[in-house]
């Protein structure tokens, strides 16, 4: 009895999860450099969530992204579906760098709009291949839509 398919599936999940967690860790490190210094000085809208909420929400979202990406990879979906997944993941990291690393709130607003479009495209492509993978991206799209509104409000207030 061969365990190769199971091992390949497990290894694939580990690689995709490691990629998502690496993006999370790098983005978190960039964010941490500003959360205690620059970010508190910004005027924020009344609907700005408390800082403690971001880490658990993003952790859950990165795990959901990893599961969705793994499901698509496991199905042998078109290479471009995983390329789109990687592209939105890169844009996700870029937003942290632009907003928290460069303190460029306006540029981050433009970037997050592109990120949201990439997430929506990924959601549709994933949904067509695997509905569960697509559904796993819906909370991510909703959170980034909220983050875009928050980014716009911070840009307007500052």
112-153 confidence digits (pLDDT tens): 999 999 999 999 999 999 999 999 999 999 999 999 999 999
Phi, then psi, of 124 in degrees rounded to 5: -65, -45
Q: Between helices 131-157 and 54-74, what is the axis angle to 10°? A: 140
Domain boundaries, the chain: 4-157
- List of residues 6+ apart from 136 with CB closer than 8 A: 64, 65, 67, 68, 71, 126
pLDDT beyond 50 at 43: yes
**Which fold, 4-157?**
Ferritin (1.20.1260)
pLDDT of 78 reads: 74
Binned at pLDDT 50, 70 and 90, residue 1 comes out as very low
Q: Quick one: average pLDDT of 74-88?
A: 90
Report the chain's mean pLDDT, rounded to a whole number.
94
Q: Quick one: average pLDDT of 104-113?
A: 98
Around Cβ 115, how many Cβ atoms within 10 Å? 23
């Amino acid at each position: 009895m061969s365990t190769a398919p199971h091992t390949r599936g497990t290894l694939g999940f580990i690689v995709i999860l490691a990629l998502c967690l690496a993006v999370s860790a790098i983005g978190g490190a960039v964010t941490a450099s500003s959360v205690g210094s620059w970010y508190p000085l910004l005027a924020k809208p009344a609907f700005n969530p408390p800082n403690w909420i971001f880490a658990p929400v993003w952790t859950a979202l990165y795990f959901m992204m990893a599961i969705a990406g793994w499901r698509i990879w496991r199905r042998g979906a078109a290479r471009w579906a995983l390329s789109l997944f990687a592209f939105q993941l890169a844009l996700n990291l870029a937003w942290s760098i632009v907003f928290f690393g460069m303190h460029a709130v306006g540029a981050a607003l433009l970037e997050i709009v592109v990120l949201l479009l990439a997430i929506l495209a990924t959601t549709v492509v994933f949904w067509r291949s695997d509905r569960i993978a697509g559904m796993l991206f819906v909370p991510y799209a909703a959170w980034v839509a909220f983050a875009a509104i928050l980014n716009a409000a911070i840009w307007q207030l500052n």
